[in-house]
Amino acid sequence: MALINHINLPRRPFASLLRYFHKARITTLLLFCAAITLFAVYLHNFEPNRDRSNSWQAKIISLNPLFGGPDNYNAWSKRPRIGKVSILYGDKKLAHERALKTQEKHNRLHGYSMHLLRRGILDGYWTKPAYILSLILQELGKQDSERLSWLFWVDADTVVLNSHVPLEIFIPPTQHKDIHLLVTKDWNGLNNGVFLLEVTPWAVELFTAIASFRDFQPNTTLTFQDQSAMEILLKEPKYANHTVTVPQRWFNAYKDEKDKELKADQVRGGDLLVHLAGVNPREKYLDEWCDRYEEDPSVWEIALENTTYPTETKEFWENLKT
């Protein structure tokens, strides 16, 4: 016993010290957990707002009252997810490849995914509606939270000039939520080289109808193939009711190299892109446009608030009849 007492006695203060440290460790651990929880709560509640208030999204919101005003970040949290779609295949299309690369900076800045088909599947231009249809179906098969809400089609003969312009600025505001398709027209009528399409069952029907048009109406002359089919279909109430024609320069500005006069459809500094529709030789002018941009990007890359987009889009939707 004496031996045990002898051993126990000196151990007693050591044991209480251990207990003290043990308690302290638990307290430290609890404090540490609490700190982590508080930090996580802080990150969750405050960081996104801080991010948003510094980002261009917040700028659109603050510039465009249709988005709910500067304090309504909720509008942005319900932002659309936009994917770009295009096709490019075949050899000796170096200028087209170069032009397509101009999409990359724009996509990176705004987080757009790029869906690029590298093969021709059907004859003529008929792969285009078929590919768009396949993407819409694929997206509609996903959960709401995973799904792209809009597709932005761009022909491969377009050059992005102002990467500051977010595609979100074109999305119809709530009072026009029945609009599923934004198109532009030129002197020939519809030009489907660039358009913005909402991912909806309506779009499945439209693009099914376009893709199968020549089989069901073989006697209709389709001068511009899928574009003519689309134009005819968009005149039907079922499709016309959910489509709007927007000013051409919003996202489909042209440039006629021979025409020195600045017409309403001709590209100018600050415009999102230039589309070399019907310009020949296409490769030469695509290269020239890429050069023109690279020589002095500051001519083209204008901050969003210094372009006409915020007021133009706002006025357009406000004046559009529902």
Ligand X SMILES: *[C@@H]1O[C@H](CO)[C@@H](O)[C@H](O)[C@H]1NC(C)=O
Cα–Cα–Cα angle for 201, 202, 208, rounded to 5 degrees:
90
Cβ at position 121, least distance to ligand X in Å: 25
Strands in 82-87's sheet, in edge-to-edge order, are 113-117, 82-87, 150-154, 189-198, 181-186, 243-245
DSSP-H helix ranges across the chain: 2-54, 56-63, 73-77, 94-110, 127-140, 201-216, 226-233, 237-240, 282-295, 309-319
49 or 241, CB closer to ligand X? Answer: 241
For residue 36, give Cα distances in angstroms to 29, 40, 42, 51, 285: 11, 6, 10, 21, 58
Report, in Å, the least distance between residue 115 CB and ligand X. Answer: 29
Length of the chain: 322
Among residues 30 and 240, whose Cβ is nearest to ligand X?
A: 240
Nearer to ligand X, 131 or 239 (CB): 239
Beta carbon of residue 199, minimum distance to ligand X (angstroms, whole number) = 19
Which pairs with CB-CB distance under 8 Å and at least 24 residues apart come from 111-117?
A: 112/82, 112/83, 112/84, 112/152, 112/167, 113/83, 113/84, 113/148, 114/83, 114/84, 114/86, 115/83, 115/84, 115/85, 115/86, 115/151, 116/85, 116/86, 116/87, 116/88, 117/86, 117/87, 117/88, 117/89
Local structure of residue 302 (DSSP, 8 states)? -
**Angle at alpha carbon of residue 55, lines to 52 and 59, rounded to 5°:** 95
Residue closer to ligand X (CB basis): 142 or 238: 238
User: Residue 168: left if φ>0, alpha if ψ -120 to 50, beta else—which one?
Assistant: alpha
Closer residue to ligand X, CB minimum distance, 101 or 238: 238
The residue of the chain with the least Cβ separation from ligand X equals: 303
Min CB(237)–ligand X separation in Å: 4
Q: How far is the CB of 303 from ligand X (least distance, A)?
A: 3
Binding site for ligand X (CB under 6 A): 218-219, 237-238, 241, 303, 306
Minimum CB distance to ligand X, residue 218 (Å): 6
Q: Which is nearer to ligand X, 145 or 298 (CB)?
A: 298
Whose Cβ is closer to ligand X: residue 28's or residue 220's?
220
Q: How far is the CB of 143 from ligand X (least distance, A)?
A: 28
Q: Which is nearer to ligand X, 143 or 221 (CB)?
A: 221
Tokens 């096709």 belong to 87
Q: Which of 64, 87, 84, 86 is nearest to 76 (CA)?
A: 64
Instruction: Pick the closer one to ligand X by CB: 8 or 241.
Output: 241
Minimum CB–partner distance for residue 283 and ligand X (Å) = 34
Taking the complex as a whole, the smallest distance from the CB of residue 200 to ligand X amounts, in Å, to 14
